Structure 1
Amino acid sequence: MRIGILTGGGDVPGLNPCIRSVTLSALDLGWQVVGFRRGWEGFLRIDPNDPATIEANSWTLDRERVRGIDRLGGTILHTSRADPRTAEDGDQTAHVLHVLDRLGIDALVTLGGDGTLRFSAHLAAQGFPIISVPKTMDNDVYGTDYCIGFSTAVSRSVAAINALRTTTESHERIAVIELFGRRSGETALLAGFLAQVDRTVISEVPVDPARLLPLLVEDRSSRPANYAVCVISEGATIIGEETADDLALPATQRVLAGVGHRLAKMIEAGTGQGTVVQELAYLMRAGEPDALDRMVGFAFGGLAIQLIQQKVTGRMLALKGGNYTHVPAGQMLEGTKSVDVAGLYDAEGYRAKLQRIEGMPMFLY
């Protein structure tokens, strides 16, 4: 058996433990493992008749190649956001399948978020044996309670938020801290709750400055140290503001400043209070994985090979109710995953609320 593996989309901590687990689990069965470089883009660069392109865009993964990588962040295979269906030369699905056939790949394990897993589901629908592994620090893949990278992103965010309190307090300002989360506010909600910030603005609920600003002024004045902290998702919207729908573009190509900077300007103009503005951005996904993302990465990797061994493919691995399981690869296309606003968020006070806990999974989703 010859197994392929790739990582696509944004990198997150926990990918390398999963790569190591897939590799070692497969090697223990006497199988071979090929790591494809730069996600789906690596396939587009491979000409099966040109050994140089194969060498440049794929690696043979053995025990030595994956030794110690579980301690590293990012992905040793590197990544891209390429989708073969939207290549400049048109839909390249047939080319991807041709590469897989010519390189003798019997099954493929794909680690990615929404974009990567959409094409994985597409290949599975074509009949190719696929196991998808959900990863994204936004934790917004539909069909699973948990994605690799989420825990580390929350932990990084909590540490940074608490560190920024010292500067905010010293200058008696209002801190506005922007976290990743274009469509889902889960990362901001949980990080804000665990850091016990004053207010948290999430992507799912538009923020009304007329309500939020007085709350932040009150938060600041009620604290002897005269400061307040507000966390906001990058995908949050501000009522009454004209926006450009360009969050999918790289930051350097966007028309508007980030929503955190825009909110901070409103706070200064509307309250006369100074602000501290910080986009945590890529620092949320930088560095080594925490214990939970190592655990999930290892477990998902082992489960992927176990399913392939059982000839069960066309599946996406998942955590549901705290239990490891798997669902159809195409299930992630059937809905959107977002914060349960009614159960977990006070939309009037812009704060997390835990109305129910008993019987809920560890992350309350």
Structure 2
Amino acid sequence: MHLGILTGGGDVPGLNAAIKAVVNEACRNGWTVTGFRRGWAGPVQTDPDNLEATADHHFPLTPDFVRSINRSGGTILHSSRTRPSRMKASDVPPHVTKREPHADAGYVDATGHVLSVIEALKIDVLIAIGGDDTLSYAAELHEAGAPTMCIPKTMDNDVFGTDYCIGFSTCVTRSVEMINRLRTTAGSHERFLIVEMFGRNCGMSALAAGYLADADRTLIAEVPFELERLAELMTRDRDTNPSNYAVCVVSEGAMVSGEGIIEKGEADAYGHRKLGGIGERVGVGLKELTGTNMMIQNLGYLLRSGPPDAVDLIVAKNFGTQVVQLIEEGRTGLMVSISDGRYVTKPADISTRGEHRVDVAGMYDTQNYRPKISKVEGTTMYLR
């Protein structure tokens, strides 16, 4: 058996642990593993008629090669936001001759080329590790005839079909640590502390961080907020704090009521523009309304960087092992997932069938802008 593996989208701690688990479990079976570099760009950049000339985009993975990679964050395979089924015609390499016109002008579908690469390399099953964008294309590829398996990862924990995604625990752990560190400076200068963190459409990471760090207010992507109301609440929080400061955690996808999401730059292959700036918007707005000085901190890539915590190590290792065990049973076209605390499987396209968002009614106080777990009993360990 010959397996392929790639990682797509934003990196998270735990990806290398999953890669290592796949390689070790596969090699114990006497199988071989090829890693594609830079996500779906790897097969696109590979020439099936001249594999040696494009060998930089794929390489063999062995137990010796992956021996220590689980100790660090990121992904040794690198990543990208390439979407072979919708690529700008100008970005497609000349060797990609199997392409179809896309409904969007100026774009092409290079899925035929990806299938040719998989065939040329004699890959039996391709494993994709990523968020809903990366996994949605893996499901497309499976439907097109190339057996695939999916492993969910995202710091936002928002892939539909699983209670947990690789990267979430480390993200929240780091967020809580950094928020609490920042308290000393905010208190020393008697300021409002505004902490911006990940969460495009799902405020789960911000909600969990705000909940565990006991932030005064938490703004999530699912609930637009009134700036005047926030100013009143934050002023009250500061006045009642013996150290005379207050903390607000903000999802990058949060919105002031009546305003849109703050984005910049061109859209990527999946239609997403870069987020960032809502923390500044909140800080400037609060300063104008209250006169209180601000400390604004975007945690950003600090949450992606560095090694995984114990939860992301065990989930990543078990997901990688589980995928190979399923392939050994002859099962493909699946996404490994966690449901009710157990490792289970879902169809590969499950991520396209719904959305994972914060249960606002059960977990958020929309009037006071803070987490409020209405009933702990029956809630999953990760507040899903």
TM-score, with length taken from structure 1:
0.96
Residues 267-282 of structure 1: matches in 2 within 5 Å? 267-282=286-301
**1:216 match:** 234
Per-residue CA deviations over 1:319-348 (Å, capped at 9, x if unaligned) read 111110010011111111100000001111
Per-residue CA deviations over 1:243-291 (Å, capped at 9, x if unaligned) read 55548758xx979960000010011000010010000001111100000
**2:44 match:** 44
User: What is the alpha-carbon distance in structure 2 between the residues aligned to residue 314 and residue 242 of structure 1?
Assistant: 37
Say which is worse superposed, 96-105 or 119-128, in terms of deviation. Answer: 119-128
The match for 1:101 among 97, 114, 119 is 119
Per-residue CA deviations over 1:221-240 (Å, capped at 9, x if unaligned) read 00110000000000000013
- SS for the counterpart of 1:85 is coil
The CA deviation at 1:61 is: 0.5
The CA deviation at 1:128 is: 1.8
Structure 1 residues 243, 307: CA separation in 2 closer, same or farther (over 3 Å shift)?
Answer: closer
Given that 2:263 and 2:274 are in contact with CA atoms closer than 8 Å, whether structure 1 keeps it comes out as: no
**1:288 match:** 307
The match for 1:133 among 132, 147, 151 is 151
User: What is the alpha-carbon distance in structure 1 between the residues aligned to residue 55 and residue 276 of structure 2?
Assistant: 41
The CA deviation at 1:53 is: 3.8
Which structure 1 segments of 5+ residues have no match? none
Amino acid of the structure 1 residue aligned with 2:22: V
**2:211 match:** 193
User: What is the alpha-carbon distance in structure 1 between the residues aligned to residue 322 and residue 174 of structure 2?
Assistant: 27
The match for 2:346 among 321, 327, 337 is 327
Which structure 2 segments of 5+ residues have no match? 90-107
Amino acid of the structure 2 residue aligned with 1:345: Y
- SS for the counterpart of 1:261 is helix
User: What is the alpha-carbon distance in structure 2 between the residues aligned to residue 181 and residue 58 of structure 1?
Assistant: 32
User: What is the alpha-carbon distance in structure 1 between the residues aligned to residue 42 and residue 53 of structure 2?
Assistant: 9
Residues 51-130 of structure 1: matches in 2 within 5 Å? 51-89=51-89, 90-130=108-148
The match for 2:368 among 346, 349, 353 is 349
Structure 1 residues 53, 349: CA separation in 2 closer, same or farther (over 3 Å shift)?
Answer: farther
For these two proteins, the number of residue pairs brought into alignment is 363
Identify, as 1 or 2, the structure richer in helix.
Answer: 1
Structure 1 residues 246, 137: CA separation in 2 closer, same or farther (over 3 Å shift)?
Answer: same
Say which is worse superposed, 94-103 or 81-90, in terms of deviation. Answer: 81-90
- SS for the counterpart of 1:177 is strand
- CA RMSD after TM alignment: 1.7
Runs of 4+ deviating beyond 3 Å: 51-54, 240-250, 253-257
Given that 1:176 and 1:260 are in contact with CA atoms closer than 8 Å, whether structure 2 keeps it comes out as: yes
Residues 163-174 of structure 1: matches in 2 within 5 Å? 163-174=181-192
- SS for the counterpart of 1:34 is strand
Residues 1-16 of structure 1: matches in 2 within 5 Å? 1-16=1-16
Residues 203-282 of structure 1: matches in 2 within 5 Å? 203-241=221-259, 246=264, 249=267, 258-282=277-301
TM-score, with length taken from structure 2:
0.92
